[in-house]
Amino acid sequence: MHVIPVLREKTNTSKNRRAYLTKTFTEAEITIAALEAHILDSGLVPYKVQPDGIWLRTENGISYGISLIPDRKFIRIGTYLPLTQQASIDQKRELARRLNEEVFLPVFTVDQDEDLTVAYALPFTHGLIAGNFISVVNRFGSLLEYVVQNFNEGGLIHFGNPSEASGTPASGELLH
């Protein structure tokens, strides 16, 4: 039995899909409003948009933000993960070191409040491919879920009150 491929006529839908995948932004077009519109077009829904940034939540409610550093031509995607106060600063720094070695994309640091800062800077010096932007935004959210689930031995990443050491929220609870 031979299978003969059938060539289909290209429709407007496939043209739109192709245009969506190849859409680019020039440096001048990259604004919070343009990024918000593209995020909405991709199917994500921000929970808060302000002139200085866009905030999204992962499926489990971990909040993360997108902001512009226009003079340096970067889009910053970042958040913090609260760390338990009972852990030593050395334990917290060890977690950040381990994450920097084992998790690709963001940089992990312990901030002045001894929480874990998670950040990635996406350059747009010569413009930005819209599909790449959305891929990075989606990956960042997935990565946060992965880190909380797989690098939280002993409840070092800690959301909520001290009696909850698992680092995962009760259903429906939003994290920071």
Averaged pLDDT for residues 128-142: 95
**Is residue 14 a part of any domain in this protein?**
no
- C-beta separation of 75 from 32 below 8 A: no
**Is residue 95 a part of any domain in this protein?**
yes
Looking up residue 35, the CATH number of its domain turns out to be 3.30.1460.10
- C-beta separation of 130 from 20 below 8 A: yes
**Is residue 174 a part of any domain in this protein?**
no
Determine the pLDDT at residue 154. Answer: 84
What is the distance between the alpha carbons of residues 76 and 69, in angstroms, rounded to a whole number? Answer: 7
Neighbours of 127 (CB within 10 A): 14
Structure tokens that stand for 147 in this block? 């880190």
Helices and strands in the chain: count of H runs, count of E runs = 4, 8
**Is residue 55 a part of any domain in this protein?**
yes
Indicate the number of domains in the chain. 1
**Is residue 5 a part of any domain in this protein?**
no
**Is residue 36 a part of any domain in this protein?**
yes
What is the distance between the alpha carbons of residues 163 and 158, in angstroms, rounded to a whole number? Answer: 10
**Is residue 2 a part of any domain in this protein?**
no
Determine the pLDDT at residue 21. Answer: 56
**Cα 68 vs. chain centroid, distance in angstroms?**
14
Domain of residue 69: give its range.
Answer: 26-155
**Is residue 151 a part of any domain in this protein?**
yes
pLDDT in tens, 114-123: 999 999 999 9
pLDDT in tens, 41-96: 999 999 999 999 999 999 999 999 999 999 999 999 999 999 999 999 999 999 99
pTM of the model as a whole: 0.79
What is the distance between the alpha carbons of residues 52 and 65, in angstroms, rounded to a whole number? Answer: 10
Sign of the alpha-carbon torsion through 124, 127, 133, 135: negative
